[in-house]
Structure formats: structure tokens, C-alpha cells
């Protein structure tokens, strides 16, 4: 990932509705959610949500696909992984094992097996 791409991705997430939308789509998984359901869950007007989804799409953090008369949006997990890699690629002065424990712990809490998952908290 290039600096310009990281700035674009981080900039698109630096807004409350877009960050909430992205987190909801991450929670929904690869299948994603239809735009109407996103608007309903987040209590956002459809026109406003459309603007925010466009911003996330331009940063390539979400993708869309038509399914019948609905448009489903889903998080681009590869793009987020690339962003996380970019942000941590030079961590701990060349001793990534120091950072890996922190990252593995954080990821295990959010991506644990279904039987161990706790309900997601919404802020």
C-alpha cells in the first residue's frame, strides 16, 4: 500500500457515520448487508448513507453488488488487512515479534470462534 492510499482509507474512516458503517459491515462478514438495512440499523437517512458509502467505496474499503432489487455492501477485508500491514510494517524497530503479541491478542478478541464470541458493542 502506498502512503496516498493509506491516507485515503484513513480519511474515509475519520467520520462517525462512515466508521460506524464500516464496523457494521465488518460485523456482517463477507456477505455484507443491503443499503436499506444499513440505514435502518444506523438510523441514517438513505441519501446521507449513499454519500458515505460512496466515500468508503472510493477509498476501496467497501464493495457493492446488486442482488435482485437490492444493493449489498460488504467490507473489503483484504484492503483493511493491507492498511493494517502498512500501519505496522516497521513496528518495534524491526522486532515485529514485540508487536505481534499485541496484534494477535487484539485479533483473537474480535475474530474468535463463534462459540466464544461476545456480542459486539456499538459506540
- What is the per-residue pLDDT across 54-107, written as a single tens digit (0 to 9) for each? 999 999 999 999 999 999 999 999 999 899 888 877 777 666 666 666 556 555
- What CA–CA distances, in Å, run from 5 to 1, 58, 90, 100? 6, 10, 17, 24
Query: What is the full DSSP assignment across 71-106?
Result: EEEEE-HHHHHHHHHHHHTTGGGG-HHHHHHHHHHH
Q: Does domain 1-110 have CATH number 3.40.50.1110?
A: no
Predicted confidence (pLDDT) per residue in 2-41, tens digit: 999 999 999 999 999 999 999 999 999 999 999 999 999 9
What are the grid coordinates assigned to 81, written together? Answer: 488487512
Q: Delimit the domains of the chain by residue range.
A: 1-110
Amino acid at each position: 500500500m502506498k502512503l496516498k492510499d493509506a491516507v485515503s482509507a484513513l480519511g474515509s474512516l475519520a467520520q462517525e457515520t462512515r466508521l460506524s458503517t464500516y464496523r457494521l459491515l465488518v460485523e456482517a462478514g463477507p456477505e455484507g448487508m443491503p443499503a436499506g438495512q444499513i440505514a435502518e440499523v444506523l438510523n441514517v437517512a438513505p441519501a446521507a448513507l449513499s454519500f458515505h458509502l460512496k466515500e468508503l467505496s472510493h477509498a476501496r474499503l467497501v464493495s457493492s453488488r446488486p442482488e435482485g432489487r437490492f444493493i449489498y455492501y460488504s467490507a473489503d477485508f483484504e484492503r483493511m488487512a493491507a492498511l493494517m500491514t502498512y500501519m505496522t510494517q516497521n513496528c518495534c524497530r524491526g522486532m515485529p515479534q514485540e508487536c505481534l503479541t499485541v496484534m494477535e491478542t487484539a485479533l483473537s478478541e474480535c475474530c474468535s470462534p463463534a462459540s466464544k464470541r461476545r456480542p459486539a458493542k456499538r459506540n
